[in-house]
Chains A and B, each alone.
Chain A
């Protein structure tokens, strides 16, 4: 199965440059999620790969074929659209069959594949219905089925779950993941939902304003965000980003906040030894705080509670820290005990801080 690569891709709409010299390569069997805020060019990139848009400059390779100038039907791809894009006048069976209309297969083979996909997706009882007579989840399945029957190496998904309700979204998420594990195909999946990205992807490419900010496994992206954009974009509640100055005066390397709170970052894997007084942005994950200061911690300080909120199994507490809010993940019963205004001692775990150069915004 093929490897997909974008080489120096530029795309302009009129005078507006949406993608500029973008490079990305997707390994065989990868589940790549393109993640980014609205309007960052995810759909554009996917449509370029599908051949629905023409590149302004650059080259797209699938396997060792240059597909830049190939017709969409000849690229060996299948795509699932956000709005499902089922053909309203055809039955489910007709929809799946039309997916194979470019392939010139013998009839028995077509029927065999339709039966296989229908069984896999459990849409057999629906084969004679029209799309208008299906629920959202069923339509989604049919749309996936129409892609599956093509039996291609690369599947493209453009926000396929965004029209579904939360429960169905979770179900379909698992199902798509299962399909990927089963078929071992390469998937390019566009979403702006980071939970989808974190749960399904084997690789994530975080995009912003047409530029790939970071490309890596979900763990890498989450644990070691490459720059401030990724740090702020991934995670909910978002990572706490604060300005600080580095100090080596005490023999340890410490980040000193404006309020004087010192956070030990000696164990941070600096690429080069930082200068005394270097301006940094320090990123602290809400879940790396603890209210019970036992074990090795990087810093402990007292902050007043602003408010706490519960989000199902989790709870978040917000503290006032240097004229801004500091988000912490806490146990729900702890959250219930916090009263606004009360000063609480919070600690940050050792070795969990993220440091970014204040000038470039890049990870140090």
Chain B
């Protein structure tokens, strides 16, 4: 955050300088330092780009070409065969239904856990920030502690709890666990966002209506666009990319896409079908990427906007 504001400020300063009477500046010589930075950045870029290149090209190759072993070569024939196979009929263990099972599982996990976690935490955050709640301070402290409890520590109790609730080993089990684990952080996020709403707006609303829910839906929720986008993206990516919760609570029927993918790749018999594996990996990674592409800008806006003006 601080870095961001600093760079914004210096940017502003630069604009101001530019609009002032123009004094030509000496061109900066290329120094050793800038070369070093460039080299470092290029290496970093390569570090990410080379594997990505291999993954993408391999996913379009045929198995014959892969067997030739030229990892960096472009596909001789571009084919979607591997993608089709990975999506529809790749085998994990004995089942050969491809990744689409996992994809739909992930979607069915995502939607209820999004609704549950955001729904509960937005209202809790609103109550904690804007209404007089008894024990709000201690409660916030507990939430804060909860946000830092590692999942592994409470894994076994959670398993027996979900088992008792008869949701263990199903999509619902995974969804509920996601929602519960996200609650503390999300509540803190919403609460801090709502703390910035001017006190007088809340006073006015209390005098005008006085109804907790009416004020929430008519006044507060419409002001929450920014933070909702941020939280949505955070939640979608973390739920989609999760593996541990899915593999622990999903059982056989409720495995999300990541678990599905891992099984595809690890439990394979015979030759390793690299092109299928790469296509499957890409398929799994696409949904969060799409989200980033479409609402990434809003995400940054939401994070930097923060306070709501009255």
Contact with B along A41-58 (1 / 0, CB 8 A): 000000100111000000
In the complex the two chains form, is B207's CB within 8 Å of A79's CB? yes
Interface: A272 (CB within 8 A): no
User: How many A-B residue contacts, CB cutoff 8 Å?
Assistant: 76
Give residues 273-310 of B contacting A (CB, 8 Å).
308-310
Picked from A47, A85, A99, A100, the residue with its CB within 8 Å of the CB of B201 is A85
Cα A130 to Cα B309 with chains together (Å): 13
In the complex the two chains form, is B310's CB within 8 Å of A83's CB? yes
Interface: B64 (CB within 8 A): no
Picked from B200, B209, B222, B310, the residue with its CB within 8 Å of the CB of A101 is B209
Picked from A72, A73, A98, A132, the residue with its CB within 8 Å of the CB of B218 is A98
Chain B residues within 8 Å of A73, by CB: 206-210
Chain B residues within 8 Å of A47, by CB: 203
Interface: B198 (CB within 8 A): yes
Interface: A294 (CB within 8 A): no
In the complex the two chains form, is B206's CB within 8 Å of A52's CB? yes
Give residues 189-215 of B contacting A (CB, 8 Å).
198, 200-201, 203-211, 214
Give residues 54-109 of B contacting A (CB, 8 Å).
none
Picked from A78, A79, A98, the residue with its CB within 8 Å of the CB of B209 is A98
Picked from B209, B210, B223, B310, the residue with its CB within 8 Å of the CB of A85 is B310
Interface: B219 (CB within 8 A): yes
In the complex the two chains form, is A81's CB within 8 Å of B204's CB? yes
Q: Shortest distance in angstroms between B237's beta carbon and chain A's nearest beta carbon?
A: 28
In the complex the two chains form, is B219's CB within 8 Å of A78's CB? no
In the complex the two chains form, is A77's CB within 8 Å of B200's CB? no
Contact with A along B205-241 (1 / 0, CB 8 A): 1111111001000110011000000000000000000
Chain A residues within 8 Å of B201, by CB: 85-88
- With A81-B200, A87-B201, A98-B219: A50-B308 Cβ-Cβ less than 8 Å: no
Cα A102 to Cα B219 with chains together (Å): 14
In the complex the two chains form, is B209's CB within 8 Å of A83's CB? no
Q: Shortest distance in angstroms between B218's beta carbon and chain A's nearest beta carbon?
A: 6
Interface: A363 (CB within 8 A): no
Chain A residues within 8 Å of B209, by CB: 73, 98, 101-102
Chain B residues within 8 Å of A193, by CB: none
Q: Shortest distance in angstroms between B169's beta carbon and chain A's nearest beta carbon?
A: 44
Chain B residues within 8 Å of A101, by CB: 208-209, 211, 214, 218
Cα A73 to Cα B308 with chains together (Å): 25
Give residues 70-96 of A contacting B (CB, 8 Å).
71-74, 77-79, 81-90
Most buried by A among B206, B208, B210, B223: B208
Q: Shortest distance in angstroms between B224's beta carbon and chain A's nearest beta carbon?
A: 10
In the complex the two chains form, is A99's CB within 8 Å of B208's CB? yes
In the complex the two chains form, is B205's CB within 8 Å of A87's CB? yes
Interface: A146 (CB within 8 A): yes
Most buried by B among A71, A84, A86, A87: A87
- With A85-B198, A101-B214: A79-B309 Cβ-Cβ less than 8 Å: no
Q: Shortest distance in angstroms between A87's beta carbon and chain B's nearest beta carbon?
A: 5
Q: Shortest distance in angstroms between B221's beta carbon and chain A's nearest beta carbon?
A: 9
Chain B residues within 8 Å of A102, by CB: 208-211
Most buried by A among B209, B308, B309: B209
Contact with B along A180-211 (1 / 0, CB 8 A): 00000000000000000000000000000000
Q: Shortest distance in angstroms between A182's beta carbon and chain B's nearest beta carbon?
A: 23
Q: Shortest distance in angstroms between A72's beta carbon and chain B's nearest beta carbon?
A: 5
In the complex the two chains form, is B219's CB within 8 Å of A71's CB? no
Chain A residues within 8 Å of B207, by CB: 50-52, 72-73, 77-79
In the complex the two chains form, is B223's CB within 8 Å of A88's CB? yes
B201 closest partner in A (C-beta): A85
Q: Shortest distance in angstroms between B225's beta carbon and chain A's nearest beta carbon?
A: 9
Chain B residues within 8 Å of A87, by CB: 201, 204-205, 218-219
Chain A residues within 8 Å of B198, by CB: 83, 85
A72 closest partner in B (C-beta): B207
In the complex the two chains form, is A146's CB within 8 Å of B208's CB? yes
Give residues 120-138 of A contacting B (CB, 8 Å).
132
Cα A50 to Cα B200 with chains together (Å): 12
Picked from B204, B206, B214, B223, the residue with its CB within 8 Å of the CB of A89 is B223
In the complex the two chains form, is B205's CB within 8 Å of A88's CB? no
Q: Shortest distance in angstroms between A190's beta carbon and chain B's nearest beta carbon?
A: 13
In the complex the two chains form, is A72's CB within 8 Å of B206's CB? yes
In the complex the two chains form, is A86's CB within 8 Å of B310's CB? yes
Q: Shortest distance in angstroms between B298's beta carbon and chain A's nearest beta carbon?
A: 17
Cα A308 to Cα B23 with chains together (Å): 49
Give residues 232-282 of B contacting A (CB, 8 Å).
none
Chain A residues within 8 Å of B219, by CB: 87, 89-90, 98
B203 closest partner in A (C-beta): A52
Cα A74 to Cα B219 with chains together (Å): 20
Most buried by A among B200, B204, B218, B308: B204
In the complex the two chains form, is A85's CB within 8 Å of B203's CB? yes
In the complex the two chains form, is A85's CB within 8 Å of B204's CB? yes
Chain B residues within 8 Å of A74, by CB: 210
26 A–B pairs (Cβ distance < 8 Å), ordered by A? A47-B203, A52-B203, A72-B203, A72-B206, A72-B210, A73-B208, A73-B209, A81-B204, A82-B200, A84-B200, A84-B310, A86-B310, A87-B204, A87-B218, A88-B201, A88-B223, A88-B309, A90-B219, A98-B208, A98-B209, A100-B208, A101-B209, A101-B218, A102-B208, A102-B209, A132-B309
Q: State the A residues within 8 Å of B (CB).
A: 47, 50-52, 71-74, 77-79, 81-90, 98-102, 132, 146
